[in-house]
Amino acid sequence: MLQRLYHTLRFKLLEMRGLTNLPVISQPSSARSLDERELYPHLFPNYKPEATPEITVGSILTWILLKLAVLMPLMWYLFERFRLHEYWLVGLGAIWLIVVYPAFMQYQRFKAQTQVLEANTLCAKCRHFDETGHFCKLLDEHVSLTYTPCGGESWEAKQSFGRNNQNDEDETFS
């Protein structure tokens, strides 16, 4: 019963932060190639597909640094002003709640977006695709469900070193 209450409260907190609308990861056997927003544009009139992802590893790291840059001097001032030196766990809790946990949740959302891209785009199978930023290294442009930078013309298959292929006898880089 306590576990159910815990999960209900956790879901409500995630819902308030807007993290419950993560992209659904389709199974590899499904042939889904477009997001529901592209399939049913009349249901999502304000949706405009863009090539630039909203979450990248760089944006997560930038927000971590900015939050720490604001939080550390603020905590230092409050600890000195109110003589809270023996309550250092409060400072660690504040860092966890304000910096670490939101960054972890954003990274989970980023990984879910990456899995959706890998399952539904041709670019994810290309050797020029970079998973850390959702972009094509060849053309230096971001990839999305609706945008392929080269249009498939510069697509090259990823190398399959380390896999058990009958055709490849020597799998070394020599």
Whole-model pTM above 0.75? no
DSSP E strand boundaries for the chain:
129-130, 135-136, 141-142
The confidence score (pLDDT) of residue 115 equals 87
d(CA 145, CA 20): 20
The average pLDDT across 54-82 equals 93
List pLDDT tens digits, range 4-27: 888 788 777 777 776 666 555 544
* φ/ψ (deg, to 5) at 97: -75, -30
d(CA 106, CA 120): 21
Q: 151, exposed or middle or buried, with CB in 10 Å at 0-12, 13-18, 19+?
A: exposed
- Using an 8 Å Cβ cutoff, are 4 and 12 in contact? no
The confidence score (pLDDT) of residue 50 equals 60
The confidence score (pLDDT) of residue 7 equals 78
The confidence score (pLDDT) of residue 173 equals 52
List pLDDT tens digits, range 154-171: 888 887 655 555 554 544
The confidence band for 55, taking pLDDT boundaries of 50, 70 and 90, is: confident
Lowest mean pLDDT among 20-24, 134-138, 146-150, 162-166: 162-166
d(CA 142, CA 78): 42
The confidence band for 30, taking pLDDT boundaries of 50, 70 and 90, is: very low
151-155, long-range: CB within 8 Å, 24+ apart, which pairs? 152/122, 154/126, 154/128, 155/122, 155/123, 155/125, 155/126
